[in-house]
A and B are shown apart, each in its own frame.
Chain A
Amino acid sequence: AQKVTQAQTEISVVEKEDVTLDCVYETRDTTYYLFWYKQPPSGELVFLIRRNSFDEQNEISGRYSWNFQKSTSSFNFTITASQVVDSAVYFCALNNGGSQGNLIFGKGTKLSVKP
């Protein structure tokens, strides 16, 4: 079975703090893809990143960084020096390599960044 667990339901931080959003996944597939999406208050889902199972290199994009560890089946997301505009619900998602459309989402973590 495939599953994505985001244990943190809500996180509240003060602006400029660093924050890490946890994501643990389960899959029996050897080829799979992991994603992070952001859902701001306006409601749309915004793509942040996709990671392939065969590439464990961590990635940094500005204030965002992702730590992919196959040994612990985790794909954590860190926001450095958080800003109020980062306030949103963040979803981690999984896709097995055989599916071109089925994204399995976690329940999301609601991040509130206070000024």
Chain B
Amino acid sequence: EPEVTQTPSHQVTQMGQEVILRCVPISNHLYFYWYRQILGQKVEFLVSFYNNEISEKSEIFDDQFSVERPDGSNFTLKIRSTKLEDSAMYFCASSPMGLAGRINTGELFFGEGSRLTVL
């Protein structure tokens, strides 16, 4: 069964360092997303990506963050200069269509997450 895969599963970094989290979405999906979950808190939307560009982003997704689909299979999230408060589980997701619309299920397929710890 196709699945979204994320690497690394856990990364520890020093404050101020750059981090790249990688994701391989399901191959025929067109929409890609990053969400994060600070430990014990709710899951928060960061960004959605469609047709090689950001389609929507939240207030959390400031200039420190960027996303890229460099080679048609990987989807990456870069944090330029990490802060302590960036420590969280980062989830990548993909879907064949968007969340809304009558003809699709609106299901997002999530990966197992990458835990980022900033010291």
Contacts and interface: CB of A to CB of B under 8 A. Distances in A.
B99 A103 contact: yes
Contacts of A93: 43
B56 interface: yes
B107 A95 contact: no
B18 to A, nearest CB: 25
A interface: dominant SS: loop
A103 B89 CA distance: 16
Interface stretch (B21-29, B44-52, B71-79, B80-88): B44-52
A13 interface: no
Nearest to B98: A100
Contact of B100 (A42, A47, A97): A97
Contacts of A44: 91, 110-113
Nearest to B91: A45
A96 B55 CA distance: 15
A100 B45 contact: no
Contacts of B31: 100-101
Range class of the B interface residue count: 20 to 34
A35 B95 CA distance: 15
A86 B61 CA distance: 33
Interface residues of A, number: 27
B98 A101 contact: yes
Nearest to B35: A103
Given A35-B106, A45-B110, A99 B42 contact: no
Nearest to B106: A50
B45 A43 contact: no
Contacts of A100: 31, 48, 50, 55-56, 98-100
Given A100-B50, A100-B98, A101-B33, A47 B107 contact: yes
Interface stretch (A20-28, A67-75, A104-112): A104-112
B66 interface: no
Contacts of B106: 33, 35, 50, 95
A62 to B, nearest CB: 17
A52 B105 CA distance: 10
